Structure 1
Amino acid sequence: MSEEILINVTPRETRVGVVENGMLQEVHVERASRRGYVGNIYKGRVQRVMPGMQAVFVEIGLERAAFLHASDIVRPQAAGADGAESNGNGHVPSISELVHEGQEIVVQVVKDPISTKGARLSAHLSIPSRYLVLLPYSRTLGISARIEDEAERQRLKDVLSPMIGEDTPGGNRPGYIVRTNAEGQSAESLAFDVAYLGKVWRVVQENIAKAKAGERVYEELSLPLRSLRDMLNSDIEKVRVDSQATYDNVVKFVHKFMPSLDDRIEHYDGERPIFDLYGAEDEMQRALRKEVPLKSGGYLIVDQTEAMTTIDVNTGAYLGNRNLEETVYRTNLEAAQAASRQLRLRNLGGIIIIDFIDMVDEEHKRQVLRMLNKGLARDHAKTTVYPISALGLVEMTRKRTTESLARQLCEPCATCNGRGVLKTAETITYEIFREITRAVRQFDAEKLLVMANPAVVNRILEEESGAVAELEEFISKSIRFQAEEHYSQEQFDVVLL
């Protein structure tokens, strides 16, 4: 499988696209006016304690106070081997026992502010590098579950244990998680990361000591460098960067942390915009639509709401050439592959429900679920997929840390106020009639002027002329209608003259 990373930089916006086999699979956007906060560490102040929710709101200098749950609070002196609060039975103490209003606390953003919700925080700090994640308040040494080879897992433990020291009772040795990228890496590469993370943590500790409440003490890398840290590996054939300044920064970063991949970085100075390569720009635009066509003629309907995202599978024009069960099976297989791609491309998270077309054959159900899991295997976000339910639905979750692509690039329609539908001209007609009746009961006027969208006015004059005459007789006043081109279909004004 050929993979490339495209980095597009303009003065106020940076975009990173991941292309696999000539198709855009992921896109990440960062704007200067609204940079993400995930990974940043702050010295915060507890603003409000909520015992009923076992949580607190913490002021960290953002527009809205951030949310911190009791299970995400750690006191370094009481941390257990896994970095979590421990009192012998796994019970999380009351929030009032852990913190109080006005207390200063060091926290890290784990989820950006989304919609009307503030950022989500954790006091379990973690600082990532290329191959490792430093856990300052834990003494564990964990290995990524995606490294499946037992011999390699043991090798990594054997290599790292002497570097990080012994885990002695009461010791202050930090913990580490070995990332998937570490598979097959040399002892020298891992030692470099251990030393790097040690330096970073010392700087963070110095910043914490002198910072005031609400100040940032550690900032996560910019989008291009963060993307390369997390995604650049030997499978990536090329990284194309269309900005000379960003290219220079990327080259320095890669040379320092991934010298073996130096030759993969390329400055793109082609005439075509970089996101026009492989049709990435068009794919982004299509990812903002609800309907996703399938090659077979079927299609998906992707609907994102506050509570969850639903994906509905339809056969559409696909009739198949055998029988109904085979047609449904083939459509669902293609839909499973397309759905896994759309989740990555649109950066959809939280609860996701996929409504596959009903299947009778149990083996078909297993194969469709297998295809979905296979498509999600390359997803960098953590996903959990449950078996097909009795209603034929697949329930799954995908970790969400930032807004979806649509929420980043779009805003609710000013005409329909985000409903996605408009009231019909007929509905607006009857609303106008009711408003006229209401107005004449409240105010004195000789005649009335109704200003509305041309489609509404035309309908009233052509199809409701009899009703207008009856209404004029009922209220004993004349009514004049005026079409306003700039009015939306739901907009109208009743003016008393």
Structure 2
Amino acid sequence: MVEPLSQEVLVNVTPQETRVAVVENGVLQEVHIERTRSRGIVGNIYKGRVSRVLPGMDAAFVDIGLERAAFLHASDVCRGRPELDPARSQPIAELLREGEELLVQVVKDPLGSKGARLTTQITVPSRYLVMVPCMGQVALSQRIEGEDERERLREVVTRLGEADGHCGYIVRTAAEGAEEAALAADMAFLRRLWAGIAERAEAARPGTLVHEDLPLALRILRDLLGDAVEKIRVDSRMTFRRMREFAERYVPELAGRLEYYPGERPVFELYGVEDELKRALERRVELKSGGYLIIDQTEAMTTIDVNTGAYVGHRNLEETIFKTNLEAAQAIARQLRLRNLGGIIIVDFIDMEVEEHRTQVLQALERALARDRARTHISEISRLGLVEMTRKRTRESLARQLCEPCPTCEGRGTVKTVETVCYEIFREIIREARQFEARSFLVLAAPQVVDRMLDEESAGVAELEAFIGREVRFQAESSYTQEQYDVVLM
């Protein structure tokens, strides 16, 4: 029996950042973070100028006023223009030219060394609808399942939108069951909003922001919340008032669920969110059975390794492996949402001999991912127990939002041993002794390296001094990392 879904949303606000936690049935599932100095730009609309057309990549770079030029692929160029032939896929050189000005929208934030990803198919969302000015037709969310309701919504939106000409609409999941008057009000709001955007775009210079998406606290009311939400707790009185005003105007069914939290104990601490965030930055994820996951995020992909750990089961090895993999499937789905991991994901389940077990684990993973708003695609389990899957990525992962590469290992995850550093120092002294005239050498290094030189490697130091005919002295520097050293000529 499937446990009914109960959601609470926690909003923590400081002058520097806003954090939103989605808690389902008492368990943290999602975290969204928006910092004042580095707000995401997905959804923002810019007046851009094509800086370079790349026929070999079937794409173009567009200057929208950011540090790095943004990327626009030919498939993201709106073919709704009358002069373009929609019957065939046209190369980028026929769609755009260098220096051309165009209106673009960000669909992916800059990630790592990559610039933002753009589209010219502008979308303007509201509570029930998304206006797509160059689409010219009505589309419906796949999550609206009832055929009668789908037909009703399509007929209503098509009729209401007849006056908009080439403008199209996408009917959002939240529109299911919505009355015609609410849909008409939504459409009128979108028309006014788009008219203002078009007017500003006409007067704007290339490289300027034309329309900025809502801040996170209001965006969650528009995009993230559904009928399962029982309570939205906000710990900032000012933000609470803004959210209530927004809800009363656009999502009145949520206004009564908003609640100001005045408690002295931080709301994230009250629900255990801070501890969960710390655990979400670790490689190892413990399973209740005693098994565990190891999650490694790289530039190319994310790998997840499943291990039985301390779990020994009660019947036989195959049953132990099967139960561990089933539990891991639930945990993996949660970790993908919590850590916001996207792109290519490889899951290394423990090898299972029974075909039925492999099928059940895959089905368990699919069911667990059904609540994920990000689009996912899962392949079959290979002979090695590997599952290849993809998850749509539109913003940085939690780890990349909150962390940076270690300055000591520079993201490698390992450092050279003390012994290795000592032998590097020996080679460096010999090299410099052959190149330069010096009375002696002073080595500045980390305390643990100096301790090794004066203890285990003392015989080697004596041999080195005899070989080069000069004295070698050592000085410990507490601020040096284990791999860092300097050889000074005296």
- Equivalences for 1:195-344 in 2 at 5 Å? 195-344=188-337
Structure 2: which amino acid aligns with 1:199? R
Give the SS at the match of 2:256. Answer: helix
Q: Matches of 2:200 and 2:86 in 1, distance apart?
A: 30
Report deviation, 1:86. Answer: 4.2
Q: Matches of 2:123 and 2:378 in 1, distance apart?
A: 26
Q: Structure 2: 5+ residue runs without aligned partners?
A: none
Residue number in structure 1 paired with 2:396: 403
Spell out, residue by residue over 1:290-312, the C-alpha distance to the aligned partner (whole angstroms, 9 max, x if none).
11111111111110000011111
Report deviation, 1:173. Answer: 3.2
Give the SS at the match of 1:423. Answer: coil
Match of 2:109 among 112, 121, 125: 112
Structure 1, 180-189 or 439-448: larger mean CA deviation: 180-189
Match of 2:135 among 135, 138, 143: 138
Structure 2: which amino acid aligns with 1:49? V
Residue 164 of structure 1 contacts residue 173 of structure 1 at CA under 8 Å; is this kept in 2? no
Fraction of identical pairs, as percent: 60
Structure 2: which amino acid aligns with 1:271? E
Give the SS at the match of 2:144. Answer: coil
Q: Matches of 2:47 and 2:178 in 1, distance apart?
A: 35
1:490 equivalent to 2:483? Answer yes
Q: Matches of 1:187 and 1:173 in 2, distance apart?
A: 21
Match of 1:185 among 168, 172, 178: 178
Residue number in structure 2 paired with 1:4: 8
Give the SS at the match of 2:478. Answer: coil
Structure 1, 30-39 or 475-484: larger mean CA deviation: 475-484
1:385 equivalent to 2:402? Answer no
Q: Matches of 2:382 and 2:63 in 1, distance apart?
A: 42
Residue number in structure 2 paired with 1:455: 448
Report deviation, 1:261. Answer: 2.2
1:27 equivalent to 2:20? Answer no
Q: Matches of 1:153 and 1:181 in 2, distance apart?
A: 12
Please give the root-mean-square deviation of Cα atoms over the aligned residues, in Å. 1.3
Give the SS at the match of 1:5. Answer: strand
Structure 2: which amino acid aligns with 1:146? R
Spell out, residue by residue over 1:169-214, the C-alpha distance to the aligned partner (whole angstroms, 9 max, x if none).
xx83311111111122222222221111111111111111111111
Residue number in structure 1 paired with 2:345: 352
Residue 303 of structure 2 contacts residue 346 of structure 2 at CA under 8 Å; is this kept in 1? yes
Q: Matches of 1:153 and 1:366 in 2, distance apart?
A: 32
Residue 383 of structure 1 contacts residue 397 of structure 1 at CA under 8 Å; is this kept in 2? yes
Residue 44 of structure 2 contacts residue 211 of structure 2 at CA under 8 Å; is this kept in 1? yes
Give the SS at the match of 1:386. Answer: strand
Spell out, residue by residue over 1:80-129, the C-alpha distance to the aligned partner (whole angstroms, 9 max, x if none).
xxxxx6442xx321211111111101110000011111100001111111
Q: Matches of 1:269 and 1:371 in 2, distance apart?
A: 40
Report deviation, 1:148. Answer: 1.7
Q: Matches of 1:397 and 1:129 in 2, distance apart?
A: 28
Spell out, residue by residue over 1:35-71, the C-alpha distance to the aligned partner (whole angstroms, 9 max, x if none).
1110011110011111111111101011111010111
Residue number in structure 2 paired with 1:45: 49
Residue number in structure 2 paired with 1:57: 61
Give the SS at the match of 1:310. Answer: strand
Q: Matches of 1:25 and 1:140 in 2, distance apart?
A: 35
Residue number in structure 2 paired with 1:73: 77
Q: Structure 1: 5+ residue runs without aligned partners?
A: 80-84
Residue 23 of structure 1 contacts residue 280 of structure 1 at CA under 8 Å; is this kept in 2? no
Residue number in structure 2 paired with 1:82: none
Give the SS at the match of 1:352. Answer: strand
Structure 1: which amino acid aligns with 2:314? N
Report deviation, 1:77. Answer: 2.6
Q: Matches of 2:472 and 2:59 in 1, distance apart?
A: 59
Q: Matches of 1:411 and 1:159 in 2, distance apart?
A: 50
Residue number in structure 2 paired with 1:126: 123
Q: How many pairs were matched up?
A: 486
Give the SS at the match of 2:38. Answer: coil
Spell out, residue by residue over 1:239-279, the C-alpha distance to the aligned partner (whole angstroms, 9 max, x if none).
01111111111001110111122210001111110111220
Q: Matches of 1:22 and 1:405 in 2, distance apart?
A: 20
> TM-score under structure 1 normalisation?
0.95
Residue 290 of structure 2 contacts residue 308 of structure 2 at CA under 8 Å; is this kept in 1? yes
Spell out, residue by residue over 1:318-366, the C-alpha distance to the aligned partner (whole angstroms, 9 max, x if none).
1111111111111111111111101110111111111111111111111
Residue 221 of structure 2 contacts residue 251 of structure 2 at CA under 8 Å; is this kept in 1? no
Measured at CA, do residues 180 and 78 of structure 1 come closer, stay the same or move farther in structure 2, by a change above 3 Å? Answer: same
Structure 1: which amino acid aligns with 2:153? L
Match of 2:20 among 16, 21, 24: 16
Match of 1:164 among 161, 169, 189: 161
Q: Matches of 1:377 and 1:253 in 2, distance apart?
A: 29
